[in-house]
Amino acid sequence: MSTATYTVKGMTCGHCVSSVKEEVSEVSGVTAVEVDLDSGLLTVTSENPVEDAAIAAAVEEAGYELAGRS
């Protein structure tokens, strides 16, 4: 198992959180996604390490910006 934490910019509500969770959950290998609206933290658990670019693309597909890895 691998866990990575990122910061997402632009989320303002529960719908934002749901959108990010849905898109990131669809990335191959991802087994769990947690999003904290207040801090903007996105925690991704996967079977093996997932490329940061794949996570960034999923966040952008949801309409938000990946600010970096924590």
Q: Is the pLDDT of residue 70 over 90?
A: no
Q: pTM value?
A: 0.94
The range of the structural domain enclosing residue 50 comes to 2-69
In DSSP notation, 27-42 reads STTEEEEEEETTTTEE
Residue 62's domain is classified under what CATH number?
Answer: 3.30.70.100
Helix axes 52-61, 14-25, angle to 10 degrees: 130
Beta strands 41-46 and 2-9: pairing type? antiparallel
How do residues 13-51 score in pLDDT, each as one tens digit?
999 999 999 999 999 999 999 999 999 999 999 999 999
What is the predicted pLDDT for the residue at 50? Answer: 95
The rounded distance, in Å, linking the Cα atoms of 18 and 50 is 20
Count the domains in the chain. Answer: 1
What's phi and psi for 17, nearest 5 deg? -60, -45
Q: Which two tokens stand for residue 60?
A: 């952008």
The residue-averaged pLDDT of 58-69 equals 96
